[in-house]
Amino acid sequence: MSEAPSRRLRLVDTGGEGPPVVLVHGFGSDRFSWLANQAALQASHRVYALDLPGHGAEALAETTMEEIADLVARSIEAEDLGTVDLVGHSLGAAICILVAASKPDLVRRLVLIAPAGLGQGVDAEFLDLYPKLTEAADAEALLHRLVSRPRLINKQMIAHVLSQLGQPGRRAALQTVAAMITADAASLAAARETIAAGPMPRLTIWGSADRINPADETALARFGGETRIVAGAGHLPHVENATEVNGWLAAFLGDSVLPA
């Protein structure tokens, strides 16, 4: 069943002045995953963040990633922001690819961080186990796969994950979203090729030690645009090495030459 035409996601205005940038989080996360990046972006942009369907405060009514991407695009258009910069992580980056391919006039610049659909493939075991987590010890062990520095997986993060998973319908929703990542591979590949063939400025950022969705050098070269690799970082390079990534974001979104 598709979403009702009136359905919209809430875009949270986090502050800042300048062109609008919209942040789209990854699987199992929420809009708060960008806290290490928002302040840096607010220096030059008006920064908006959202919760994807099945995450945060948003219910899931969609059955495909394309439907989610259409909902994200409509929600941005409803805010009357004009052309926006899109920054997405993992699942959120895949959604951004679909939005940019279907609504190129809506997107000025595209930033993808460890994007699903452009790497070697998302860890199927992680996608399967995450919605089933109930115990702190199991959550800690699984979440360690996301990073190269285990200390980043603290008690507060673990408690937040388990609290979110405890919300009514959340586990089933995440299982459905996880299935979409595999089921919608063909539509995502087509969208990726559409962007690769066009002029849209794009930056892809990846951690060299990503165990959840390792980079695919051949696919990255075919996709084109700018690429930056965060040495030693895992699947959350924008958190693990926020200062470096924030510098790249500021330069790219500000139409400047990216630091090497």
Mean pLDDT of 238-245: 97
* Interacting residues of 8 by C-beta distance below 8 A, sequence separation 6+: 71, 74, 75, 78
Q: How confident is the model at residue 224 (pLDDT cuts 50, 70, 90)?
A: very high
CA distance 178 to 12: 25
| pLDDT recorded at residue 259 | 80
User: Could you tell me the CA-to-CA distances from 231 to 10, 147, 207, 234 in Å, in that order?
Assistant: 35, 12, 6, 9
Mean pLDDT of 65-90: 97
What is the share, in percent, of the chain residues with pLDDT greater than 90? Answer: 93
| Region for residue 161 given its phi and psi (left: phi exceeds 0; alpha: psi -120 to 50; beta: otherwise) | alpha
Residue for token pair 């399967």: 128
For residue 24, what are the β-bridge partners? 50, 88
User: Are 234 and 215 in contact, with CB atoms under 8 Å apart?
Assistant: no
Domains in the chain, ordered, with CATH? Answer: 12-122+185-253 (3.40.50.1820)
User: Are 95 and 64 in contact, with CB atoms under 8 Å apart?
Assistant: no
| pLDDT recorded at residue 5 | 58
pLDDT per residue over 89-147, tens digit each?
999 999 999 999 999 999 999 999 999 999 999 999 999 999 999 999 999 999 999 99
| pLDDT recorded at residue 1 | 39
- pTM confidence score: 0.96
Mean pLDDT of 10-24: 97
Strands 46-50 and 84-89: unpaired
CA distance 80 to 254: 21
What is the chain's mean pLDDT, rounded? Answer: 95
* Interacting residues of 83 by C-beta distance below 8 A, sequence separation 6+: 19, 105, 106, 107, 108
| pLDDT recorded at residue 258 | 82
| pLDDT recorded at residue 3 | 45
pLDDT per residue over 152-194, tens digit each?
999 999 999 999 999 999 999 999 999 999 999 999 999 999 9
User: Are 59 and 173 in contact, with CB atoms under 8 Å apart?
Assistant: yes
User: Could you tell me the CA-to-CA distances from 3 to 63, 87, 169, 184 in Å, in that order?
Assistant: 9, 24, 17, 17
The pair of three-digit structure tokens given for residue 30, joined into one six-digit string: 């929420």
The pair of three-digit structure tokens given for residue 139, joined into one six-digit string: 């959550």
CA distance 54 to 212: 20
